Amino acid sequence: MDVFLTREARADLEALGILRLARGTWGFLLGHERGFRFYVEKAYPVGSSGVPSAVRVDELGRLWEGKVIGVFAFHPAAAFKKDLLGPAFFGKLYLEIETTGGRTQIKPSIVEYDGKFRLSSISMESIPKERGRD
């Protein structure tokens, strides 16, 4: 598995980083899966409260017509990552985002199960920035 960020999704995440949101701010990733790749089309920020219940995740999945492919979090606490490790997020994408010195670093992983739930790192691709738009 790997993940591809569209320009819009990357801009969404970088804009949130520029705004210097509170630690633990998180949101949903909207897009689709094709083959062994997640295509992230949009990042929808939610806040800094805890991870939603499986019921809420299902409700949002129906609202967004199955486009919820995962979640992202800025400087997440260990408790947040632990809360992702369950059936509600099985097979979903997780982007951990760190911002330092005006730079945004994104660490992608997927929630897997092999006797216990765990985060497994995956690779990331994105459309390069256009020249002159750094």
b/e map 20-38, b = 16+ CB within 10 Å:
ebeebbbbbbbbeeeeeeb
Q: Which CATH number covers residue 92?
A: 3.40.140.10
**pLDDT tens, residue by residue, 17-69:** 877 777 788 999 999 999 899 999 999 988 777 777 778 778 887 888 889 99
Number of domains in the chain: 1
Do 4 and 125 form a contact (C-beta atoms < 8 A)? yes
For residue 44, is it within any domain?
A: yes
For residue 132, is it within any domain?
A: no
pTM across the whole model = 0.86
